[in-house]
Structure 1
Amino acid sequence: MPVPVTMQTFGVLLVGALYGWRLGALTTLTWLGQAAMGLPVLAGGANGWVAFAGPTAGYLFAFPLCAALTGWLAQRGWNGQRAALAFAAMMLAHVLCLAAGGAWLAQFVGMEQAIALGVAPFLVGSVLKSALATVTLKLIASRHRDNA
């Protein structure tokens, strides 16, 4: 499988939801910049410019957009105070990530293989990570409300 299973999207979407669209996207870009400079911050310690040219680069390029989408929706009430909407925001961002990643991967292995190797295996994980991110947001929102 050319695409590793990680918790990266969980982190990216949570950063977007917590920081808002601008800071979430900027934070994600900063993290990717660290990878581009050679820091081993991607899955499996991957780093350097080669990570942005290989089969998984489409997912990396989608990350700031996913953080921005989740943040934008969270700022409009799709957040921890409305769990169903927060879950929908996380799922939409996962769909964006899988679509961009799969489209890029298709340039290397063809569309059928890209769907089989880079999209389908991650659908259940996307649902689970979206649910976990939603629960995390809800807990943070309730804790923030309790401390206010």
Structure 2
Amino acid sequence: MTDLTASGSPSPLLLQGRSRPVQLAAVALGTLFLAISSQIAVPMVPVPVTMQTFAVTLVGAIFGWRMGALTVLAWLAEAMIGLPVLAGGASGIAPFVGPTAGYLLAFPLMAAGVGVCAERGWLARHWVLAFAAMLAANLFALVLGTAWLAGILGLKKAIAVGATPFLIGAVLKSALAAALVTAGGHFVRARRG
């Protein structure tokens, strides 16, 4: 269902131009994708990594900046009201005021940033650009999350536990998301002839 721009480059689903029921369905599916991805833990050393940020970047890439950010905000709202949709089934207010708050704050901004790149056609044609956008979004979350965590643990310890262990995962998830987005772009172009 991806539309093509005049230049022939795949753009996001252009959800902001679709009917309200389609938008609501997309947000519901997006929050479900985010919730499921948050529960998928990839064993890595020294800590397991969830597919949460992978899903956030894909939602931004597919939904565009406005609907991507809105979908992530809806998912965070689900968590706030008690639905166990965050990593490890976390929910309620505690994740938003505790050590994970900085990362959660970054998520809608990640989706928006990747969505802007997608809407400009930078992601679907060039794996390197898609990877750079995804990695920049992941690093932004690590920086914001670590900055928040530094207020609790101090900077040195925050970097040691809140950023460094997640760098390899950020690179791998960015590469996977970029591969999916560019493959989707190639698929759409091939179908359109």
Amino acid at match of 1:27: T
* Deviation beyond 3 Å, 4+ runs, structure 1: none
Q: Distance in 2 between matches of 1:106 and 1:88?
A: 26
Correspondence for 1:109: 153
Q: Distance in 2 between matches of 1:5 and 1:53?
A: 21
For structure 2, the 5+ residue unaligned runs are 1-46
From 103, 119, 127, give the equivalent of 1:59.
Answer: 103
Is 1:99 equivalent to 2:136 in the alignment? no
The normalised TM-score by structure 2 is: 0.73
**Is the helix fraction higher in 1 or 2?**
1
Q: Is the 8 A contact 1:78 1:85 kept in 2?
A: yes
Is 1:88 equivalent to 2:113 in the alignment? no
For structure 1, the 5+ residue unaligned runs are none
Q: Distance in 1 between matches of 2:68 and 2:190?
A: 24
Correspondence for 1:42: 86
Report how many aligned residue pairs link the two structures.
146
Pairwise CA distance, 1:112: 0.3
From 164, 174, 187, give the equivalent of 1:120.
Answer: 164
Correspondence for 1:29: 73
Q: Which has the larger radius of gyration?
A: 2
Correspondence for 1:75: 119
Q: Is the 8 A contact 1:4 1:43 kept in 2?
A: no
Q: Distance in 1 between matches of 2:84 and 2:190?
A: 38
Pairwise CA distance, 1:24: 0.5
